Amino acid sequence: MNILVINSGSSSIKYKLFSFPKESLVDKGEIEKIGEEKSKIKNHTQGIDEIINKILVKSKINSLKDITAVGHRVVHGGEKFKQPHLINKTVIKQIQKCSKLAPLHNPANLAGINYCLKSFPTNFQVAVFDTAFHQTVSEEGYIYPIPYKYYRKYKIRKYGFHGTSHQFIAQKAALTLKKPLTKLKLITAHLGNGCSMTAIDKGKSIATSMGFTPLEGLMMGTRCGDVDVAAIFNIMKKEKLAIDQMDKILNKKSGFLGVSGVSNDLRNVSKAAKDGNRRAKLAVDIFISRLKKYIGAYLFYLGGADAVCFTGGIGENNPDMVKSIKSQIKRIFSKTKVLIIPTDEELMIAKLTYKLFKKLRRGK
Ligand code: ADP
């Protein structure tokens, strides 16, 4: 059966079409710059129409009826969604509710979902949430030590993101290590433009570095990661900054870009560092130092780990950095392996969609 995966973001829609149970990729593509002035694609509706045209022309699919299921990436599932869900009116309402927690992402995800429900003959369409994998983290791991009423009133807590990627990497690691996931302790580091680390015990997320939003945790391309909030108030007072301005600085102007002043892209920052740029070197050093801090903490949480797994643009393409961390891990934790595993979030979404399809079929 064919499963289409749609990742509908604010200004782009990525898609991959898979054939199951082989898990083979049939087609993939991306529509970019949606809604930008010079773009001919003005909105998500036109974006999905363009994808449908591409699929029908490029792949061997003759009719949309040949697509049995559609899997959709949804960024925020709040506390409601601990698993992938078959989409119906109630689920759509609940995803809308979660938009309060992810105002930039969930509405774009929903725009894709709503139009796909109209455009594809199949009503087997599944929402897969970035946050769901981390819903196994226990209360002491997700409640922030601030007045509890804010959790009660606004659901302010750690949620964690990149869940599908961490789950995918954990499953791949189990195959590589030739052990069942239920017997493994793993640390997974997804290092792309956004970076997050997760401690996984017996296949379940027990701690993760991103928080209420993706801003918490590791240093990233343009995000700061962990910072003393009081330092932020101090800057806001001194520079008379509004909340939105500071939000933009922390999300878009910090991390590699902010420290180095060179770029958000590690390739450019590393090159500048090699050419003697002191701040570029400092940015790389801070990044590595914080990676080590989280690896150390998670090794302790887990009571040792079978493997530390790296993925994402940085994790997959930076053998020198991974090698240096590997040699340090080896010195202290000789039994812990270090693995580089390419991630495929779309394949994970397709696998989860297929699993739900089989489960519901059996139930009928
Ligand atoms: P996204 O999170 O947007 O999917 P990616 O996973 O593609 O991003 O990761 C982007 C990061 O990966 C950038 O910092 C980039 O510098 C880094 N990266 C990609 N390829 C390489 C490479 N060959 N060498 C070093 N870093 C790389």
Q: State residue 10's pLDDT score.
A: 85
Statement to judge: residues 123 and 171 lie in one domain: no
Domain extent for 174? 163-340
Q: How much distance in Å is there from the Cα of 105 to the middle of ligand 1? A: 21
Residues 12 and 67 in one domain: yes
Query: Taking the alpha carbons of 132, 136, 139, 140 in that order, is the dihedral positive or negative?
Result: negative
Residues 38 and 98 in one domain: yes
Q: Are residues 168 and 317 in the same domain?
A: yes
Question: What value does the mean pLDDT take over residues 304-312?
Answer: 97
Lowest mean pLDDT among 190-199, 206-215, 263-272, 319-328: 319-328
Q: How many domains does the chain have?
A: 2
Q: What is the pLDDT of residues 125-171, one digit of tens each?
A: 999 999 999 999 999 999 999 999 999 999 999 999 999 999 999 99
Q: Classify 217 as helix, strand or coil.
A: coil
The pLDDT assigned to 310 comes to 97
Furthest C-alpha separation in the chain:
65
Considering the domain architecture, whether residues 271 and 329 belong to the same structural domain is answered as yes
- Same domain for 95 and 211, yes or no, is no
* Ligand 1 geometric centre to CA of 151 (Å): 35
| pLDDT for 98 beyond 70 | yes
pLDDT at 162: 96
> Does some domain include residue 350?
no
pLDDT digits (tens, 9 = 90+) for 16-31: 999 999 999 999 999 9
Pairwise CA distance, residues 78 & 188, whole Å: 22
pLDDT(361) > 90: no
Q: What predicted TM-score, i.e. pTM, was given to this entire model? A: 0.95
* 258 within domain boundaries: yes
Does residue 158 form part of some domain?
no
CATH of residue 252's domain is 3.30.420.40
Please tell me which residue in 27, 49, 66, 130 is annotated as part of the active site.
130
| pLDDT in the model for residue 364 | 67
Q: How far apart are CA 321 and CA 78, in angstroms?
A: 34
Q: Do 34 and 171 lie in a common domain?
A: no
CA–CA dist 18, 287 (Å, integer): 36
pLDDT tens, residue by residue, 266-290: 999 999 999 999 999 999 999 999 9
Q: Establish whether 66 is a catalytic residue.
A: no
Amino acid at 10: S
Mutate to test the pocket of ligand 1, among 12, 259, 314, 344 (most ligand atoms within 8 A of CB): 314
Judge whether 349 lies within some domain. no
Average confidence (pLDDT) over 76-81: 96
Looking at the fold, whether 120 and 263 belong to one and the same domain comes out as no
Would 22 be classed as within a structural domain? yes
Q: For the chain, what percent of residues have pLDDT higher than 90? A: 89
251 and 106 share one domain: no
Query: What residue ranges line ligand 1, CB within 6 angstroms?
Result: 192-194, 221, 265-267, 312-314, 317-318
Distances (CA, A) of 233 to 227, 244, 258, 311: 11, 13, 18, 34
